[in-house]
C-alpha cells in the first residue's frame, strides 16, 4: 500500500515567499549560532571540570583503602573517607581487580557523615571498564546521575577512581539553551513581522504593476476605442522591480499606440463603408428603375435584350439589399442607438415563419411557441430581420425536405429563440467565423443567382449584440441549431 506523504502548504505570493525565505535563513543562522554556543560552553565547562579532577588527584579514593569500620576524626586526615578540601558531590571508588570494594561520595549538610553510596551491577561494570590512563570520561551512575571520572593506579595495586558531578555543567548548558531559544524565537517573530513589512514596501511598485495589468485584462480590447488605465508610478530603475515597472509601462504605451491606430483605421473603414453604401443606394436604385422601365416598354424587344434587362433588374435589387446590409452594419459599428420599444417576439416569430414557409415550400417547417406571449424591449424591424436571416440561412443551406424547427421559450429573465434543422450541418472550418462578415459556407452557391454576400449571420450577431443579447451555434452532421438569447421584460418572464 502506497504511503501518502503530507503536502506542505504552497506559498503562491512572492511577498510570502521572500518573507518565508528570510525567516528560514535567519532560523538556520540562529540555530547554527545556538548550537555552536551550546557546544562551546559545554566543552569549556567540561574542560574546567576535567582540570578540577586532575587538581584533586586521587586523595579521596585513596582514603577508601583503610578499614571500613573506622570513622574519620577531626584531626586525622588520612583516616577513611577523607573529605577535606573535597567539593560536595566528589565521587570516589576503589577497585581491586575488576571488583568495586569501596564507593563513596562527599555529601553536604546533615548527610556529611554518610559517605557510602550504593552502586548497581551496571554501575560497577561501567566503572570496571574505565581505562586507567588518567584521562577523563563521562559515566552515568544510577543513584547519582552523570559524572566525569578519572581512573588511576593506587599504591596497593588497586585502581582509584575520582569523579565530579556533571549536573552544574548540564544545568548551565540547559539554561543557555532555554535563553537562546527564547531570544532567537523572539528575534524570528520580530524579523518575520519586520521582514513582511519591508518586503511589502519594497514590492509596492510590483503590486501596482499587477493591479494595472489586471485592469488592462478586464478592458474590451477586441473592438472600439480603449482608454488604458494610468501607468504604474515610476520607481528606481536600478532595481529589478523598477526595471519590470518601466518595461511594463513601455509595453502599455506600445499597446495604446497600436490600439489607437487600429481604432482610427476601423473608424476610417466604417466611415468609408457608410459613405459608400449611402452613395451607392441612389445609382443602384436608378439602374434598377431604368431596367424595370425598359421592361415595361410597349414595343417589341428582342428576347435576349429582355433577358438582359431582367438580369440587370434582379442583380440591381440584390446589390441594393447588399448596400442596405452594409449600411446597417456600419451604423451598428458606429453605435447608432436602436429603438427601445416593447416588441411581441411571439408574433414576430410567427410572421417570420409564415414568410419562410412561403419562400421555401419544399422544407418542413415546425413552430413551437409558449402559451403566454414573450415580449422584449428593442427594435421590432431589426429583430424581425434577425429571425428572417436565420430562417433564410436554414432554407438556403439545407436541401429540400429538411425539417426546420423554430422554438421560442423563456428561461428566467431571458427569451431564447432557437432555429434548428436536420440538414448536413456547418463544416468545422467555417464554424469559428460563421458570424463574421462575408463568410460563406459554399462559395459556389454564393456566386449563383440565389447566393448571398455572407452578411446575414453577421447582421444577426450585430443586432443581437446591440440589444444586449448573445447568439450561438451548435452543429454536427444531421443537427444544426442557432440560439439567440435576448433580455425579456420582467412581466413576461414572470408570466412564462
At residue 217, the pLDDT reads: 72
Where do runs of H (alpha helix) occur along 57-71? 59-62
Please list the pLDDT of the chain residue by residue as tens digits (496 residues).
445 444 544 556 777 888 888 888 888 988 899 899 999 998 999 899 888 888 888 788 877 765 444 444 443 434 445 666 778 888 888 888 888 888 888 887 555 556 788 888 888 888 888 888 888 888 988 888 899 999 888 887 888 888 999 888 989 999 999 998 899 889 888 988 888 888 888 777 777 777 777 777 777 666 666 666 666 666 666 777 777 777 877 887 887 787 777 777 767 766 666 666 666 767 777 777 877 777 777 777 788 888 887 888 888 777 777 777 777 777 777 667 778 899 999 999 999 999 999 988 999 999 998 888 899 998 888 899 899 999 998 998 889 989 999 999 988 889 999 999 998 888 888 888 888 877 766 544 444 444 456 778 888 888 898 888 999 999 888 889 999 999 987 654 444 3
Q: CB–CB of 314/450 below 8 Å?
A: no
Q: How far apart are CA 276 and CA 327, in angstroms?
A: 8
Q: CB–CB of 343/351 below 8 Å?
A: no
Strands 375-378 and 414-421: unpaired
* C-alpha cell belonging to residue 24: 528560514
**Which among 393, 410, 413 has a CA at the least distance from the CA of 402?**
393
Q: How far apart are CA 315 and CA 361, in angstroms?
A: 24
b/e burial code for range 178-217 (CB count within 10 A of at least 16 → b): eebeeebeeebeebbeebbeebeeebebbebbeebeeebe
Q: How far apart are CA 329 and CA 113, in angstroms?
A: 117
CA distance between the termini of the chain: 58
Backbone angles phi, psi at 483, to 5 degrees: -120, 125
* C-alpha cell belonging to residue 211: 493591479
State the residue for C-alpha cell 528560514: 24
- DSSP calls for 423-477: SS---TTTGGGTTSTT--S-HHHHTSTT---S-HHHHHHHHHHHTT-EEEEEEET
At residue 416, the pLDDT reads: 92
State the residue for C-alpha cell 531570544: 183
Radius of gyration of the chain (CA): 51
At residue 315, the pLDDT reads: 80
Q: CB–CB of 408/376 below 8 Å?
A: no
- Burial class (CB within 10 angstroms; exposed 0-12, middle 13-18, buried 19+) of 378: buried
CA distances from 238 to 198, 211, 226, 242, 246 (A): 18, 22, 32, 7, 11
Strands 364-368 and 403-411: parallel
* Residues facing 252 on adjacent strands: none
Full-model pTM? 0.48
At residue 96, the pLDDT reads: 87
Percent of the chain with pLDDT strictly greater than 70: 80
Find the helix packing angle between 240-295 and 204-217, rounded to 10°: 10
* C-alpha cell belonging to residue 491: 412581466
Q: CB–CB of 463/485 below 8 Å?
A: no
- Sequence-distant (6+) residues with CB within 8 A of 474 are 480, 481, 483
Q: CB–CB of 116/30 below 8 Å?
A: no
> CA angle at residue 72 from 68 to 76, to 5 degrees?
125
Amino acid at each position: 500500500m502506497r504511503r501518502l506523504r503530507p503536502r506542505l502548504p504552497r506559498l503562491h505570493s512572492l511577498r510570502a515567499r521572500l518573507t518565508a525565505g528570510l525567516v528560514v535563513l535567519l532560523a538556520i543562522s540562529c540555530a547554527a549560532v545556538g548550537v555552536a554556543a551550546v557546544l562551546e560552553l559545554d566543552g569549556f565547562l567540561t574542560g574546567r571540570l576535567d582540570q578540577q579532577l586532575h587538581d584533586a588527584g586521587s586523595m579521596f579514593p585513596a582514603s577508601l583503602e583503610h578499614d571500613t569500620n573506622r570513622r574519620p576524626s577531626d584531626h586525622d586526615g588520612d583516616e577513611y573517607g577523607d573529605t577535606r578540601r573535597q567539593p560536595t558531590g566528589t565521587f570516589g571508588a576503589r577497585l581491586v581487580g575488576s571488583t568495586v570494594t569501596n564507593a563513596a561520595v562527599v555529601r553536604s549538610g546533615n548527610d556529611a557523615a554518610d559517605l557510602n553510596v550504593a552502586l548497581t551491577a551496571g554501575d560497577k561494570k561501567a566503572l570496571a571498564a574505565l581505562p586507567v590512563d588518567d584521562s577523563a570520561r563521562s559515566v552515568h551512575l544510577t543513584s547519582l546521575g552523570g559524572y566525569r571520572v578519572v581512573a588511576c593506579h593506587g599504591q596497593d595495586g588497586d585502581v582509584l577512581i575520582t569523579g565530579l558531578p556533571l549536573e552544574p555543567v548540564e544545568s548551565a548548558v540547559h539554561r543557555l539553551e532555554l535563553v537562546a531559544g527564547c531570544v532567537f524565537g523572539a528575534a524570528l517573530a520580530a524579523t518575520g513581522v519586520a521582514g513582511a513589512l519591508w518586503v511589502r514596501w519594497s514590492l509596492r511598485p510590483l503590486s501596482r504593476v499587477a493591479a494595472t495589468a489586471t485592469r488592462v485584462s478586464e478592458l474590451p480590447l477586441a473592438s472600439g476605442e480603449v482608454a488604458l488605465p494610468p501607468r504604474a508610478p515610476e520607481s528606481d530603475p536600478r532595481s529589478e522591480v523598477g526595471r519590470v515597472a518601466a518595461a511594463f509601462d513601455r509595453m502599455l504605451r506600445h499597446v495604446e499606440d497600436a490600439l489607437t491606430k487600429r481604432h482610427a483605421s476601423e473608424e476610417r473603414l466604417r466611415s468609408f463603408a457608410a459613405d459608400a453604401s449611402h452613395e451607392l443606394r441612389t445609382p443602384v436604385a436608378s439602374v434598377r428603375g431604368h431596367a424595370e422601365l425598359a421592361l415595361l416598354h410597349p414595343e417589341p424587344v428582342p428576347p435576349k435584350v429582355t433577358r438582359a434587362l431582367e438580369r440587370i433588374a434582379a442583380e440591381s435589387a440584390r446589390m441594393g439589399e447588399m448596400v442596405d446590409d452594409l449600411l446597417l452594419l456600419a451604423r451598428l459599428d458606429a453605435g447608432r442607438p436602436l429603438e427601445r420599444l416593447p416588441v411581441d417576439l411571439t408574433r414576430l416569430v410567427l410572421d417570420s415563419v409564415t414568410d419562410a414557409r412561403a419562400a421555401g415550400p419544399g422544407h418542413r417547417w415546425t413552430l413551437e411557441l409558449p402559451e403566454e406571449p414573450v415580449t422584449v424591449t428593442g427594435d421590432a424591424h431589426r429583430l424581425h430581420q434577425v429571425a428572417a436571416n436565420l430562417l433564410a440561412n436554414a432554407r438556403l443551406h439545407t436541401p429540400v425536405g429538411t425539417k426546420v424547427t423554430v422554438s421560442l421559450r423563456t428561461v428566467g429573465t431571458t427569451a431564447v429563440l432557437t432555429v434548428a434543422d436536420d440538414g448536413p450541418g456547418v463544416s468545422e472550418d467555417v464554424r469559428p467565423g460563421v458570424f463574421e462578415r462575408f463568410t460563406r459556407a459554399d462559395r459556389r452557391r454564393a456566386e449563383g443567382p440565389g447566393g448571398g454576400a455572407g452578411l446575414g449571420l453577421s447582421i444577426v450577431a450585430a443586432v443581437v449584440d446591440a440589444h444586449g443579447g448573445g447568439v450561438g451555434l451548435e452543429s454536427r452532421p444531421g443537427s444544426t441549431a442557432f440560439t439567440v438569447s435576448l433580455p425579456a421584460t420582467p412581466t413576461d418572464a414572470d408570466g412564462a
